[in-house]
Amino acid sequence: MPTSDNPPFPAALRLFSAMVIIVLIVGAGLFFAPVLVKPRWPWAVTPFNARFLGGFYTAEMVVMAALLLWNRWSPGRLVLVMAFIFTVIVSAASFINLGYFNFERKAPWLWFLVYLASAAVSGLFLWRARTRPPAKGVTLNPAWRRYLPVESAILGLYGLGLLLFPLTFSSIWPWPVDAFHAQVYSAIFLAGAGGTCLVWRSAPREELLVLGLAQFLVGLLAILGLVITDAAVHRINWTATGTLCWLAVFAWIGISGAFKLYAASRYFGSQSAS
């Protein structure tokens, strides 16, 4: 893609991306090595919450790696918008629920430092680039243009529900979720809504690919984490209505991501052929 409408990022932002990836490796450890990471986490997490968080951080780590790899306005615009939404909401939820943190330990201080710094850096860069137009994108077919605003609205409304009425909207989750974790999880849905809205309004190929990859991994790892954790503790009622609804939501997210990956690959292929 020509660099005129898709310039590279400053070296400082690329360094920031690399540092975020290092931090996210620790978060991904909640999925792959929860026994090692849980005692070092900033607050106490149950087995299901740990694996779910670890799955999301794994997906986020892959997305940040895409930003580091491409190092351009596209897909950087998408990644930074989603990161800003996520870090602001999680920071707010953390401040609202300070009782979950033991500030005699270092981990909570590092948590707030990392999240506030990430929100500040991504927000500052987006503000400075607020007048920059998106990179040249592809023309989405009518089906995608009808579907994407619906997806964004569903993700956004459910995210707002988790944020404002956490116990009510988390009642469908297969395991007990307290208000703090529900509000943290709201950031996942709201960030996804923001990313989907960006792609709907303008769809650079790289952004469609990265959004699809993020959604595919979030859906896949959420369900896989539930299966792996329940195989050890046997606490999930797999026929409960709430569990089936939860599985349907994350299967939809994962499948939607897979279709975006397919669409992005077709666009890349047609570009190469031309």
Which DSSP string corresponds to the chain? --SSSSPBPPHHHHHHHHHHHHHHHHHHHHHH-HHHHGGGSSS---HHHHHHHHHHHHHHHHHHHHHHHH-BHHHHHHHHHHHHHHHHHHHHHHHHTGGG--TTSHHHHHHHHHHHHHHHHHHHHHHHTTTPPPPP-B---HHHHHHHHHHHHHHHHHHHHHHHSHHHHTTTSSS---HHHHHHHHHHHHHHHHHHHHHHH-B-HHHHHHHHHHHHHHHHHHHHHHHHHHHHH----TTSHHHHHHHHHHHHHHHHHHHHHHHHHHHHHHHHH-
Q: What is the pLDDT of residue 273?
A: 42
- Please tell me the predicted confidence (pLDDT) of residue 268: 58
- Residue 144, phi then psi, degrees to nearest 5: -65, -40
pLDDT digits (tens, 9 = 90+) for 58-107: 999 999 998 888 889 999 999 999 999 999 999 999 999 999 999 999 99
Asked if 134 and 205 count as a contact pair (C-beta separation under 8 A), the reply is no
pLDDT in tens, 151-196: 999 999 999 999 999 999 999 999 999 999 999 999 999 999 999 9
pLDDT value of residue 4: 66
Rounded Cα distance between 194 and 214, Å, is 13
Is residue 139 predicted with pLDDT exceeding 90? no
Write down the mean pLDDT value for the chain: 93
| Cα 111 → chain centroid | 17
pLDDT tens for each residue of 228-262 = 999 999 999 999 999 999 999 999 999 999 999 99
* pTM over cut 0.85: yes
pLDDT given at position 15? 87
Which residues are CB-contacts of 217 (< 8 A; sequence separation ≥ 6)?
55, 58, 59, 62, 254, 257
Q: Is the pLDDT of residue 130 over 70?
A: yes
**Two tokens, residue 195:** 């990313």
Q: How many CB atoms lie within 10 A of CB 35?
A: 9
Nearest residue to 186 via CA among 202, 173, 199, 200: 173
The neighbour count for residue 267, using CB atoms within 10 Å, is 19
**Residue 127 burial (CB count, 10 A):** 9
Mean pLDDT for 133-143 is 84
> Scanning the structure block, which residue is given the tokens 């859906």?
219
